[in-house]
Amino acid sequence: MDKFRSFIRAWLTAGALALFAVSASLMAPAANAADPIKIGFSMALTGGLAGAGKGALIAMEIWKDDINKKGGLLGRPVELVYYDDATQPAKVPGIYTKLLEVDKVDLVVSAYGTNLIAPAMPIIMRKKLVFPALFGLAVNDEFNYDRYFQIMPSGPDPKLDWTRGFFEIAMAQNPKPKTVAIVAADAEFALNAAAGARKNALRANLTIVYDKTYPPSTTDYTPIVRAIQATNPDIVFVASYPPDSVGMVKAANEVGLKAKMFGGGMVGLQFAAIQKNLGPLLNNIVNYDFWVPEKTLDFPGVKEFLAKYQEAAKGKGVDPYGHYLPPYAYAYLEVLGQAVEATKGLDQDKIAKYIHDHTFKTVVGDVKFGKNGEWAKTRVLQVQFRDVKPDNLEQFAGPGKRIVLYPSEWASGKIVYPYKQ
């Protein structure tokens, strides 16, 4: 009897172990395969940055679909988990807390814009997460976080690199300008840009004859431009957000601004709807950009991406061409995805090290990060509007309307100087 009981116990134990092993072999891989990799973020889908934020989200959804068609990351599908921050920095900490504590996302990326990236940084740093960022100017100057990676091509010294091209172009003219006016919105991005402009102006031995800010609530820019005109500057650098940029361009035309160069840091002049609105008022303005449809910037994959974006953007109230932000929104996920695949896991330390040590092939060209998470080499473009016709959106779809002046390796033409309206 004892031998029989021992046999039964042994048989039951072996059977249970075999059944467990079979169950584990059948169930565990299926659960892993079905379990998505979640990427969490906030995005401006309402409020002042909603137009750009919605365009960025379209680009990110395209990347998700593209990567899932290839089998996902690590053999798992990718899911985007996001919430509208309404362009309100105060909402950002709560969103990232929810993403990490409730949604249990595996990876995070930033919202769009300086003012909405900075509030997330303390939370990200506490969790020691890799943080790819979408168009934040000099955010990491304050935090010095070694897992922050900025997809905007501002360069290793972002405040200086952001405005360097505008001043280098100016100082290459004959005769050289001697005076500059600097005007900026009283907001974080614009103040950072103006700080860089101030340093570049002093390095070029330019005399600053006007250096003031204006409240973001400003609606009438004519008095500002008249005050600038009264100082008779050779060049005028403007750091502004989209509504301000439109107001500044219209005011410059109304006043008849006589500066030899005008522009530099105006957000909004990259968007097709604003380009159509302003039309010929844009002609000969020199302003920053990140990608335009000139032949010198025909990076592998960018046309294919833009074709998908333009189809997806129809009827959604976003920029129909997507030249400015969307390629970079796609690219910062490309960088993250390539690093995850290369490190074969979700270990944040390994991913961060890989991003620091490698160059990435993306739709915006080769991307290499410096020690501070900014691009190792600046590629902030300075472009000049040329021969812009009134009330014509289609003219901005192709080359010839935004000539790349800087950097020289990407240039597609020479400057028209001085600025003429």
Q: Which residues of 389-416 are buried (b: 16+ CB within 10 A; e: fewer)?
A: eeeeeebbeebebbbbbbbeebbbbebb
Q: 341 and 266 in one domain?
A: no
Q: 195 and 144 in one domain?
A: no
User: Is residue 95 assigned to a domain?
Assistant: yes
Q: If pLDDT is split at 50, 70 and 90, which confidence band does 34 have?
A: confident
Instruction: Give the tens place of pLDDT for each residue, 365-414.
Output: 999 999 999 999 999 999 999 999 999 999 999 999 999 999 999 999 99
pLDDT of residue 310: 98
Q: 308 and 218 in one domain?
A: no
User: Is residue 166 assigned to a domain?
Assistant: yes
Mean pLDDT of the chain: 92
CATH number of the domain at 202, please: 3.40.50.2300
User: Is residue 419 assigned to a domain?
Assistant: no
User: Is residue 11 assigned to a domain?
Assistant: no
pTM (2 d.p.)? 0.89
Q: 325 and 396 in one domain?
A: no
User: Is residue 421 assigned to a domain?
Assistant: no
Instruction: Give the tens place of pLDDT for each residue, 310-366.
Output: 999 999 999 999 999 999 999 999 999 999 999 999 999 999 999 999 999 999 999
Q: If pLDDT is split at 50, 70 and 90, which confidence band does 48 have?
A: confident
Total number of domains constituting the chain: 2
User: Is residue 60 assigned to a domain?
Assistant: yes
Q: 198 and 164 in one domain?
A: yes
Q: 124 and 54 in one domain?
A: yes
Instruction: With a cut of 70, say whether residue 9 has pLDDT above it.
Output: no
Structural domain harbouring 114: 34-153+298-368
Instruction: Give the tens place of pLDDT for each residue, 145-202.
Output: 999 999 999 999 999 999 999 999 999 999 999 999 999 999 888 999 999 999 999 9
Q: 84 and 112 in one domain?
A: yes
User: Is residue 194 assigned to a domain?
Assistant: yes
Q: 288 and 202 in one domain?
A: yes
Q: 292 and 302 in one domain?
A: no
Task: Tell me whether the omega of the peptide bond preceding residue 175 falls within 30 degrees of 0, making it cis.
Answer: yes
User: Is residue 14 assigned to a domain?
Assistant: no
Class of residue 386 by CB neighbours under 10 A (exposed 0-12, middle 13-18, buried 19+)? middle
Q: 180 and 293 in one domain?
A: yes
Instruction: With a cut of 70, say whether residue 17 has pLDDT above it.
Output: no
Q: 255 and 107 in one domain?
A: no
Taking alpha carbons only, the member of 399, 421, 420, 418 closest to residue 173 is 418
pLDDT of residue 33: 58
Instruction: Give the tens place of pLDDT for each residue, 239-290.
Output: 998 899 999 999 999 999 999 999 999 999 999 999 999 999 999 999 999 9
Q: 390 and 275 in one domain?
A: yes
